[in-house]
Amino acid sequence: MTEDVWQAVDGYFSGLLLEPDPVLDAALEANALGGLPAIDVSPAQGKLLHLLASSIGARRILEVGTLGGYSTIWLGRALPPDGRLVTCEIDPHHAEVAMSNLAMAGLAEIVDVRVGPATDSLGALDAAVDGPFDLTFIDADKASNVEYFRHALRLSRPGSMIIVDNVVRAGRVADAGSTDASVLGTHRLTEAVAQEPRVSATTIQTVGSKGYDGFLLALVR
**Averaged pLDDT for residues 196-202:** 98
Percent of the chain at pLDDT > 90 equals 99
* Residue 184 CB partners (closer than 8 Å, separation 6+): 143, 178
pLDDT at 2 over 80: yes
| Residue 161 pLDDT grade (very low, low, confident, very high; cuts 50, 70, 90) | very high
Residue 139: pLDDT above 80?
yes
Q: How confident is the model at residue 182 (pLDDT cuts 50, 70, 90)?
A: very high
Q: Taking Cα atoms as reference points, which of 66, 52, 149 lies closest to residue 112?
A: 66
> For 9-32, what is each residue's pLDDT tens digit?
999 999 999 999 999 999 999 999
* Model confidence band, residue 109 (pLDDT cutoffs 50, 70, 90): very high
Report yes or no: 19 and 50 within 8 Å, Cβ to Cβ.
no
Kindly list the domain boundaries of the chain, sorted by start residue.
Answer: 3-220
Q: Report pLDDT digits (tens) over 50-100.
A: 999 999 999 999 999 999 999 999 999 999 999 999 999 999 999 999 999
CATH fold for domain 3-220: Rossmann fold (3.40.50)
Single-letter amino acid code for the residue at 167 = V
Is the confidence at residue 1, as pLDDT, over 90?
no
- Structure confidence at residue 134 (pLDDT): 98
203, 168 Cβ separation under 8 angstroms: yes
CA-CA distances (angstroms) from residue 14 to 6, 136, 205, 207?
12, 24, 18, 14
What count of other Cβ atoms lies within 10 Å of the Cβ of residue 45?
21
